[in-house]
Structure 1
Amino acid sequence: MNLEQPCIRISVRNLVEFILRHGDIDNRTGGADKDAMQQGSRIHRKIQRQQGAEYRAEVPLRYQIPCDGFILSVEGRADGIIQLPKRVVVDEIKGVFKDLKRLEEPQLLHLAQAKCYAYIYAEQNNLEEIGVQMTYCNLDTEEIRRFRETYTRAELKKWFEKLVSEYEKWARYQMTWRAKRNASIKTVEFPFEYRDGQKKLVESVYRTILRKKKLFIQAPTGVGKTMAAVFPAVKAVGEELGEKIFYLTARTITRTVASQAFAILREQDLKMKVITLTAKEKICFCEETICNPDVCPYAKGHFDRVNDAVYELLTSTDEMSREVLEEQARKWNVCPFEMALDVSQWVDAVICDYNYVFDPNAHLKRFFGDGVKGEYLFLIDEAHNLVERGRTMYSSSICKEDFLKIKKLVKYGEPKLVSALESCNKQLLELKRECDGCQILNSVSHVYIKLLSLMTKLEEFIEDCRDEVIRKEVLEFYFGIRNFIYIHDRQDENYLIYSELSEEGKFYLHLFCVNPAGCLQEYMGKANSTILFSATFLPINYYKKLLSTTKEDYAIYAESPFEPGKRLLLLGNDVSTKYTRRGPEMYRKYAEYVMHVIKGRTGNYIAFFRLIDSWKKSGKYSWNCHRNRLKL
């Protein structure tokens, strides 16, 4: 094997999920991918610790397949390798909320993962046969059910080689495109004359990527932060310092600006595929986003067609606009949102909202799932917003009244579920009686235990429910409980637990993430380098503390490119945008200030108001602008 050949890496999990998936998109199975949840990892560790000396946990495995012109490396980590006297057994552990009595056989993709590990281990250790054990554990009761099968190395070899052969064309495409892309990057130059301070930013970004560090950039409006971040990141990809760029934003307008920056570079014949991910609700072809084959024609048989749709798109065009994606999805009769997520796996840059990377409920598991790390470069725009967004993503709340609402929906014929809901409600009622408006709590583990029990009952109900209206409400409630359990498992000294009695009389239990730095770092650690930039990053040490846990992060300040002598700062100390001070008199003062300014000199003016309500009401107080044009 020529180890100097380029290497394409793929995880065992991604390989089997990509090649072996089939059938429909169906959101009626509420517990999708639950084994990736935090409590699933906890069960993994507990089961592993209970095994004997013959059990080796978390065994890394890698198998390299020589292909024509490159090496395909299939990598993963077996949950356990059991060395029995007469046989070796590969153990794959999955945590579920499902009643194990309903589980008649291992799930196809779970078993496929285990078979991959079994083949790799058998091949590398010259074993003629090997056992595969699927261990399912109920996350509530901790009941365990195992399925065991023995395979010969020959039959595993035949199965594995077929699996890999189906993936080889994708790896070959990736290899060919990578070479073409990198060659084109070498000729790309910065597209504008550098503004004051902009070249320093470009150099700092590139050096940070080269050293695999994080960089905080405080740069005022007008410096050209977007291109100063995108250009060196693109050049770094060409130097193989990263394989994929994630441009992360909080707003649609900044996603548009980022897309334009890549488009400007492509004018120099840059070969780079860039996709902007659009929210499911916006790109969905149906009037209502209900993702199951009984309602959505694009969900039915989606996985049977989507790989062909994606491959055709990748090999026929470099344009990945929303219009192109929608046209391709209609042609192949597949879900445009899910197809876009699949396309993102093969493009060079992904422009998306923060939550696709950092949100534990919405992040792209193919890139950021447990144990997954890639050659990624993160460019985080308006990164000051990530503090509050991070707090929101890693916090969770439950409302006592929601339990009563769900109880009313399911009270007939579901005694076990009703009993579990009542048990949770009782715990919350006790906390409510102790709450005087707002109360800080040391622990809510007693509620957590009841919620774990409730999850099993909810999942059974969701699987059996045929009333779509009821099922939808219960499913939404289920996801809220699941998130609360997940956040409870990961809470630490950076969290505040408190109860709240709202003005409407509703009782809430909150797990509030005060400092999201540790949670964010968990995902930033999956990238080679992270560049965070904002025009409002001061004091920068405050943001470094709330956005990162590493001490060696870099920081740079950029000066404004505008001449200080042409700047006039006027302060009106008798006006306020506070809600309590708004009214006709305050709106009149807003209008008077604007009038005084525009009367001073003829020209074009833009007036920015903090709230849309303010400028609309200010507009009621008319003024004669004469030759001035006022844009609101």
Structure 2
Amino acid sequence: MDNIKLSVRELVEFVYKSGDINVKNLSPDRALEGMKAHKLLQSNMGENYSKEYYLKNEFTLGDILFIVEGRADGVITEESQTTIDEIKSTYTDLEHIDENYNAAHSAQAKCYAYMYSVETGKEELTVQLRYFNLDSGKTKVFAKKYSALELKCFFYELLEMYLDWAQTIIRLKKEREQSIEELDFPFSGYRQGQRNFSVAVFRTIKEGKKLFVQAPTGVGKTVSCLFPAIKSMNTKQNSKIFYLTAKSSTKSIAFNTIKMMVNKGLKLRTTIITAKEKVCFMEETKCDPEFCPYAKGYFDRLNAPLKKALKEECLYSREYIEQTAREHQLCPFELSLDLSYMSDAVICDYNYYFDPRVALQRDDVFKNSNDILLIDEAHNLEDRTRSMYSPCLVKEEFYETCKIMKEIDKKIAKLLTNINKKFIEIKKSLNEETSELEDEPSELINGLRKFTAEAEKYINDRNNENIPEELVDLYFKSNFFIKISEIADSNFCYYADFNKKETIIKLFLINPSDILKEIEKNAWSCIFFSATLTPLKYFRYMLGGEEDDYILKIKSPFREENLKLLITSGISMKYAVRDANIKQSCSFINAAIKGKKGNYMVFFPSYSFMEKVVETYEDMFGIENIIVQTQGINEDEQSEIVEKFKTRTDVVLFTVVGGVFSEGIDLPLEKLIGAVIIGTGIPQISFERNLIKSFFDEKFHSGYDFAYKYPGFNKILQSAGRVIRTENDKGVVMLIDSRLCQSTYLKLFPDHWRHYKKTMSFDHAQEDINLFWKEENI
């Protein structure tokens, strides 16, 4: 007999969900406030109250076994009666709520009541709905008695309405499983290292563990991960693949890889999630049903197009989602989330799984125990996690908002004035302009709590009308700071920065390892992969792995002789001396790009140093055909430059290490034949980097490596990886910095860099490069 496992919430929402999208109801703060309300009401119920009562029963209908589970908010057991308690938090005035206010609420409670009667044999039960207003703290209660027979009839009526959809889900699941069973590797054969990679991924997922893979460019990382992950879905029931990445270009590659397999018969429903700001149809991204017609009545219009998509299509690209959303007047972003919930694979940015401000909004989509996480370009996750969990407060924002609120709400203005004073007190207590705080700024945080409570009341009382944007923005920033302060441990620190025009207090995540480890516990298996996870054990630790999690280093599939790798051994690019070496740098750059006419990239350690080199280079050699990337380049400008590489053979781009052209750009064959990389790639020395250095000096005696050397060298690898993309590529990479000749750096070199050659002068470099290109033509 076929079976379907679902929650009471899923069953009820399928039948009853309707109405608008309301950003207030979707926000993480709304969810947390709701949880607090539940705990408050549950704690006041006495000994006869069993809270969070878990229920699970099996029911047969139409040759399908339904395994239904759920958790009632509470069960009240008294001599005369048993009551199933369901709590709902709301901002709606309780005077506007009656017993018919929301059919889904009473339906959920009645389902729990029936399941409890099946479990206990009770012939009669009371169903109680309690509405708790989050503003007033008041409660309104509705209670009604039902016989077990009445509850049974009601429950099976819901199942009858769900039956057709259940049959569709089973059919789709069987089709998917059959197609996965029949799926062959989508290419004629495996590249070198690709089979080992795929086997390791499959075994790791089967064991429910983590794998960290350093896979050089050209291995075919995307298909090497996706293919075995898809095959593993038949061994792990109810699993879902999340392909997580930091860049839009890699999302497209992953989607197209699945599309290629779908074209060969795979039935894998796959959704790509695009940022709300990019897909929103409105000029202003404001998820308010009074403002946005796509939010108004969203759930009333959702079911038909959602069912149609799942029955008739497999691939839900951005274009498909936007077209469907327009046809049915739906919010495209929320549609992508609803499709994700029903999909077998989801392709999205890291933040949908790891960022606390995003992931909490749809806990039905993310963080389930059978999730398979495929984390592409995983070297980016360390610093991305730091930024996600490092909230910052700016004194001047509180001061400016205070001036606005003085004329509107004196109570809020007074609270903002108090917060401003706390900033001043902290500033006076410090001897330096940028300093780590010895203790948590508890008085400041208490001030933030009072402000957010009052601001929330003010915002809700006005139903989001005529509210200063500055107040709303500050409310969310303060709330987030409070939330992170509640989980902050020894991996975090507070610091103050009064060095600039702004006065800043920041809660900084130094070590993201434990945070990531906690999030990854929710998933079944995690695969981290990149061309630049060097050294692997460092990344295994930083990205939440354990010592018994697997690491794998894949050998490059390309011939070493296709890459000419030169290191200038006589010129240092240390910050203190690099300006004195600008002319030499220019000569080496010229030697690299004059060896053969073609397209080149030159990567600089910073924009300011690049500007100095450009000025000298122009005097020495001219800058015809040289494109100098500007800081803050947008996507259209970036695409325009990439297009020049694809259509011309005389382009030289001056750019920066770690910038938009360092990764995610695929320019095979003659589209790019060389790269010059200046410096060691280390991040600019900063207060935060030094905090990381001090932390890991104390923990592992490796502070400089963790804070500077490893992150920098991986940027070098990324930049150099632009040159050799296919088996037929040939190119030159020149590293300009004598420090890279030191043994501590040479130990980090990947195997396919072991044939490097040191060069003392640009004349020798020119000879080596000319010989390399001459041999190519023989």
Relative to the length of structure 1, the TM-score reads 0.87
2:83 aligns with 89
Kindly state the Cα deviation for residue 519 of structure 1 after the two structures are TM-superposed: 2.4
User: What displacement does 1:327 show?
Assistant: 1.3
User: How many Å apart are 1:231 and its aligned residue?
Assistant: 0.6
Give a deviation string over 1:393-417, Cα, whole Å, max 9, x none: 1222222222222223332342333
Q: Say whether the 8 Å CA contact 2:214–2:531 is kept in structure 1.
A: yes
Map of 1:173 onto structure 2:
168
SS of 1:186's equivalent? Answer: helix
Correspondence 1:121 to 2:106: no
CA shift, 1:48, in A, is 5.2
2:185 paired residue among 166, 181, 190: 190
Aligned partner of 2:446 among 421, 444, 449? 449
Match of 2:336 in 1: 340
Written as runs of structure 1 = structure 2, the 5 A alignment for 1:342-357 is: 342-357=338-353
SS at match of 1:570: strand
**Count of residue pairs brought into register by the alignment:** 617
Q: Does the residue aligned with 1:420 lie in a helix, a strand or coil?
A: helix
User: Structure 2 vs 1, CA of residues 234 and 99 (structure 1 numbering), >3 Å: closer, same or farther?
Assistant: closer
- Structure 1 stretches lacking a partner, 5+ long: none
TM-score by length of 2: 0.72
2:68 maps to which residue? Answer: 74
Q: Which residue pairs with 1:474 in the alignment?
A: 471
Q: Which SS does the other structure have where 1:352 is aligned?
A: strand
Contact persistence 1:577–1:610 (CA under 8 A): no
Tell me whether 1:290 sits opposite 2:274 in the alignment: no
Q: Give 1:595's aligned residue.
A: 590
Find the aligned partners of 2:143 and 2:53 in 1 and give their Cα distance: 20
1:252 aligns with 2:239: no
Deviations 1:335-389 (A, max 9, x none): 111111111111221110001111111126545689x624221100011111111
What are the Cα deviations for residues 581-601 of structure 1, in whole angstroms up to 9, with x where unaligned? 888983x6555323312444x
* 8 A contact 2:28–2:357 mirrored in 1: no
- Any conservation in 2 of the 1:210–1:241 contact (CA below 8 Å)? no
Measured in 1, the distance between the counterparts of 2:291 and 2:133 equals 33
| Match 1:24 to one of 20, 40, 48 | 20
1:205 CA displacement: 0.3
How many angstroms apart in 1 are the aligned matches of 2:442 and 2:160? Answer: 49
Q: Paired residue for 1:401, among 391, 396, 419?
A: 396
AA of the residue aligned to 1:66? T
1:277 maps to what in 2? 273
Q: Please point out which of 401, 424, 427 is paired with 1:432.
A: 427
Inter-partner Cα distance in structure 2 for 1:581 and 1:121: 76
Letter in 2 for 1:597: A
2:622 alignment partner in structure 1? 622
SS of 1:63's equivalent in the other structure is strand
The higher-RCO structure (CA 8 Å, 6+ apart) is 1
Give the Cα separation in 2 of the matches to 1:284 and 1:235. Answer: 35
In 2, distance between residues paired with 1:133 and 1:423?
41
- Cα root mean square deviation, aligned: 3.5
- Distance (whole Å) between structure 1 residues aligned to residue 410 and residue 96 of structure 2: 22
Return the letter of the residue paired with 1:432.
K
1:464 aligns with 2:461: yes
Assess if the C-alpha contact under 8 Å between 1:217 and 1:533 holds in 2.
yes
Deviation of the 1:469 alpha carbon? 6.3
Distance in 2, matches of 1:251 and 1:149, equals: 52
State the one-letter code of the partner of 1:195: R
5 Å matches for 1:147-162? 147=141, 149-152=143-146, 153-162=148-157
Residues in 1 aligned to 2:50 and 2:379: alpha-carbon distance in whole angstroms: 44
Match of 1:498 among 495, 506, 509: 495
Q: Could you say which residue in structure 1 is the equivalent of 2:517? A: 521
What percent identity do the matched residue pairs reach?
A: 34
How far apart are 1:280 and its partner, in Å? 1.0
Q: Tell me: CA distance 1:571–1:177, structure 2 relative to 1, closer, same or farther (3 Å).
A: same
> Partner amino acid for 1:462?
I
- Contact residue 56 and residue 67 of structure 2 kept, 8 A: yes
Q: Which amino acid aligns with 1:464?
A: D
Q: Is structure 2 residue 369 aligned with structure 1 residue 392?
A: no
Q: Which amino acid aligns with 1:267?
A: N
Aligned equivalent of 1:310: 306
C-alpha separation in 1, matches of 2:95 and 2:495? 38
Equivalent positions of 1:1-150 (< 5 A) are 5-17=1-13, 19-27=15-23, 29=24, 32=27, 34=29, 36-37=31-32, 52-92=46-86, 108=102, 113-127=108-122, 128-132=124-128, 134=130, 136=132, 145=139, 147=141, 149-150=143-144
Structure 2 alignment gaps of length 5 or more: 626-647, 654-778
* Structure of larger gyration radius: 2
Contact persistence 1:35–1:95 (CA under 8 A): no
The 3-state SS of whatever aligns with 2:565 is: coil
